[in-house]
């Protein structure tokens, strides 16, 4: 019986070992990679040590099946599109799960590297780079048409790098709806071309995709780092955001808790700010709110956690509706932060809609490079210049009352010349104190 038990145990160990080995597949060619990623078993596809895959791929979706890990093993996969009509990509949907780790994927051509939709999950712990002359994102995300509990998720880890940007769009059948989408960025997203680095498409008006940026590094070369065009929620905690505008806002909820927001775009005078079809609206402001009736609007902004918000040429924060007389900002709150104007303006803030109730008493703290409109301050607050010349919004200094050390009564102090005297009137000690000079 003991021998039989040992045999059973040994068989179980062999089976477990065999299962573990079969869950890893070595790859060194494009065909190996496709076969591994599209197979039905849960598999880690491992690029062989020292291998580099370079392939010309045209109009071919690699449909991920099940849970897959693409371990690049420190290597590189380079995919080249033979024509501008190329649409090849890795595609994750319907509950499938892809993790890309430990290496680099380069895509040369007019398409994304990975698309995610209909309940797919993507985790990037590697470097994805799209080399294109067009406004092509490295990762494209499509929401669901209805709120049917389908969850589509993309995570960029702390070590993840996406060169080419990330875009969220509505469902393929209903462009205005993007239900069930959550994007979490802990790493780096950069856009070397003429588009924003992180975007919710302006057609999106329902579904509320959630964008969680946690100590992320986001930048665009010549455009906005973050473009909140379609309606969604942006939870921004710490990190660095740099572009022609750090954040461009058309719609949605923007929650800022710390971080650095820098604009390096050219200053545009408020009277010259214009909508350009298919592009972001240029102002040169670090936080640029340019609402328009074409978009969903319903803008709500909270700024706290002492972020640094500054522009090279323009305003730290700009608000101005374009194409409509009324702002789409429903609520705005500045609790603290440092707001610094650029070289072409004097004011840190430029608010077009000063008559709107939304912009009355919306600042409860912060430091500004210029005096702000007193109507913007929360009731009971004042603004004072500090030693560095910055304007600090704060509570007024509390008035202190001196006490008579003998009785504990209040001392009413007067500047007098002559003899020091104390007079008691109705139980209150009045101190007439001599002040020299």
Distances (CA, A) of 254 to 204, 249, 259, 272, 320: 16, 8, 13, 25, 17
Dist. CA 167–CA 189, nearest whole Å: 11
pLDDT of residue 400: 56
d(CA 294, CA 378): 32
The backbone region for 278, taken as left when phi is positive above 0, alpha when psi lies in -120 to 50, beta otherwise, is left
- pLDDT of 244 reads 97
- Please give the DSSP secondary-structure letter assigned to residue 377: B
pLDDT at 22: 45
pLDDT at 9: 41
- Give the number of C-alpha atoms closer than 13 A to the C-alpha of residue 28, restricted to the C-beta side: 4
| Exposure on the CB side of residue 292, measured as CA atoms within 13 A | 21
Q: Please state, as a whole number, how many other Cβ atoms lie within 10 Å of the Cβ of residue 99.
A: 18
How high is the pLDDT of residue 408?
Answer: 59
Cβ count within 10 A of residue 42: 12
Give the model's pLDDT for residue 182. Answer: 98
- In the numeric block, the tokens 């008035």 are attached to 399
The answer to whether 248 and 227 are in contact (CB under 8 A) is: yes
| 85 closest CA partner among 33, 19, 134, 143 | 134
Q: Which residues contact 172 (CB under 8 A, 6 or more apart)?
A: 117, 142
Q: What is the DSSP letter of 117?
A: -
* Contact assessment for residue 301 and residue 254, using Cβ atoms and an 8 Å cutoff: yes
Measured on CA atoms in the order 406, 411, 415, 419, is the torsion positive or negative? negative
User: In the prediction, which pLDDT does 363 show?
Assistant: 98
C-alpha–C-alpha distance, residues 132 and 109, integer Å: 6
Q: Please list, in sequence order, all residues whose beta carbon lies within 8 angstroms of the beta carbon of residue 3, skipping any fewer than 6 positions away.
A: none
Give strand pairing partners of 181: 152
- The confidence score (pLDDT) of residue 28 equals 94
354 alpha-carbon distance from chain centroid = 27
pLDDT at 116: 98
State the pLDDT at residue 403.
Answer: 59
State the pLDDT at residue 399.
61
DSSP conformation class of 2? H
For the record, the structure tokens of 241 come out as: 């955001």
Continuous segment of H or E residues that includes residue 421? strand 421-425
* Cα distance between residue 421 and residue 423, in whole Å: 7
Pick out the chain residues at pLDDT < 70.
Answer: 1-22, 133-134, 399-437
Locate tokens 């007389």: which residue?
325
Domain boundaries, the chain: 25-394, 402-437
Give me the residues paired with residue 69 across strands: 44, 99
- Whether 224 contacts 248, CB under 8 Å: yes
Q: How far is CA 253 from the centre of its chain?
A: 11
On whether the pTM is more than 0.85, the answer is yes
Look at residue 410 in the predicted model and tell me its pLDDT.
56
354 close to 328: Cβ distance less than 8 angstroms: no
Q: Name the DSSP letter for residue 409.
A: P
Query: What is the model's pLDDT at position 169?
Result: 98
pLDDT at res. 133? 67
């Amino acid at each position: 019986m003991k021998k039989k038990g040992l045999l059973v145990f040994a068989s179980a160990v062999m089976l477990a070992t065999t299962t573990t080995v079969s869950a890893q597949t070595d790859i060194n060619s494009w065909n190996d990679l496709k076969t591994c990623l599209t197979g039905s078993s849960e598999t880690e596809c491992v690029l062989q040590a020292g291998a580099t895959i370079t392939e010309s791929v045209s109009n071919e979706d690699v449909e991920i099946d099940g849970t897959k890990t693409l371990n690049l093993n420190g290597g590189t996969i380079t995919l080249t599109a033979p024509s501008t009509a190329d649409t090849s990509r890795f595609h994750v949907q319907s509950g499938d799960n892809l993790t890309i780790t430990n290496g680099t994927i380069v895509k040369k051509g007019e398409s994304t590297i990975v698309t995610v939709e209909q309940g797919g999950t993507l985790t990037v712990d590697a470097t994805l780079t799209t080399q294109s002359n067009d406004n092509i994102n490295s990762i494209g995300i499509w929401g669901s048409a209805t709120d049917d509990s389908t969850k589509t998720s993309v995570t960029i880890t702390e070590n993840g790098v996406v060169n080419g940007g990330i875009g969220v769009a509505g469902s393929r059948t209903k462009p205005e709806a993007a239900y069930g989408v959550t994007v979490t960025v802990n790493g780096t997203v950069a856009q070397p071309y003429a588009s924003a680095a992180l975007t919710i498409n302006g057609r999106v008006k329902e579904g509320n995709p959630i964008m969680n940026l946690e100590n992320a590094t986001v930048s665009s070369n010549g455009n906005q780092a973050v473009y909140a065009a379609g309606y969604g929620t942006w939870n921004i905690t710490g990190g660095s955001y740099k572009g022609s505008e750090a954040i461009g806002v058309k719609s949605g909820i923007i929650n800022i808790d710390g971080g650095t927001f820098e604009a390096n775009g050219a200053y545009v005078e408020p009277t010259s700010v214009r909508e350009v079809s298919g592009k972001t609206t240029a102002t040169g402001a670090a936080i640029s709110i340019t609402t328009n009736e074409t978009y969903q609007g319903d803008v709500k902004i909270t700024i706290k956690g002492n972020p640094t918000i500054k522009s090279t040429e323009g305003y730290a924060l700009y608000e101005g509706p374009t194409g409509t007389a009324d702002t789409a900002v429903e609520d705005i709150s500045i609790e603290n932060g440092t707001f610094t104007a650029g070289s072409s303006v004097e004011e840190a803030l430029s608010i077009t809609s000063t008559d709107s109730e939304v912009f009355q008493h919306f600042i409860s703290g912060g430091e500004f490079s210029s005096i702000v409109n007193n109507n913007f301050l929360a009731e009971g607050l004042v603004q004072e210049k500090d030693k560095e010349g910055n304007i600090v919004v704060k509570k007024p200094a509390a008035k202190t009352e001196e006490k008579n050390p003998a009785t504990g009564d209040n001392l009413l102090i007067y500047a007098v010349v002559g003899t020091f005297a104390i007079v008691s009137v109705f139980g209150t000690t009045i101190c007439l104190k001599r002040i020299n000079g």
